[in-house]
Homo-oligomer: A and B are copies of this chain.
């Protein structure tokens, strides 16, 4: 049965958001098109009225979550952002957490479209973080530091998640990297 244009658009957005959460939680290969549509409240047949393929949806789901991340970090200090990012809560809440940390392993083996989306997501996050500081005199150094911290934060979450749930090492990695990044940031203010 046909549905209004506005409703169809809303349904589509809902499917993208559901996919974004499920992919982050279970990985690209861990969710089927049918699972995904059922989770969104539809049957699988309608999928191809909205998307060309599962891979296309992956690119859209990633783009959507990156845009959301950038808008969520609006008006947040870099310190507060990394404190949230490098927490056990974030590590344990994969479905609503950072898409880079959840899916960059999968992304590396996917289509150019998905990988372009990731590159843009990374670039946007670096730009966003750089624009937090009004000091433009050492913009290059800020970018350098931001890249290092982002790599460290993503790496820490991913390594921590690859350990067993009750592993002391999993917690240690998170805690050490958070302390290190916050120390770097406060040293930067002083220096």
Contact = CB atoms under 8 A, between A and B. Distances in A.
The 4 closest A-B pairs by CB, nearest first: A105-B105, A155-B155, A151-B155, A108-B161
Interface in A127-179: 144-145, 147-148, 150-156, 158-159, 161-164, 167, 169-170, 172-173, 176-177, 179
Interface stretch (A13-21, A25-33, A40-48, A71-79): A25-33
Interface of A: 26-27, 29-30, 94, 100, 102-109, 112, 115-116, 118-119, 122-123, 144-145, 147-148, 150-156, 158-159, 161-164, 167, 169-170, 172-173, 176-177, 179-180
A169 B108 contact: no
A123 to B, nearest CB: 6
A119 B155 contact: no
A179 B151 CA distance: 13
A132 to B, nearest CB: 19
Nearest to A167: B119
A155 B157 CA distance: 9
A148 B162 contact: no
A58 to B, nearest CB: 12
Contacts of A170: 119
B106 A159 contact: no
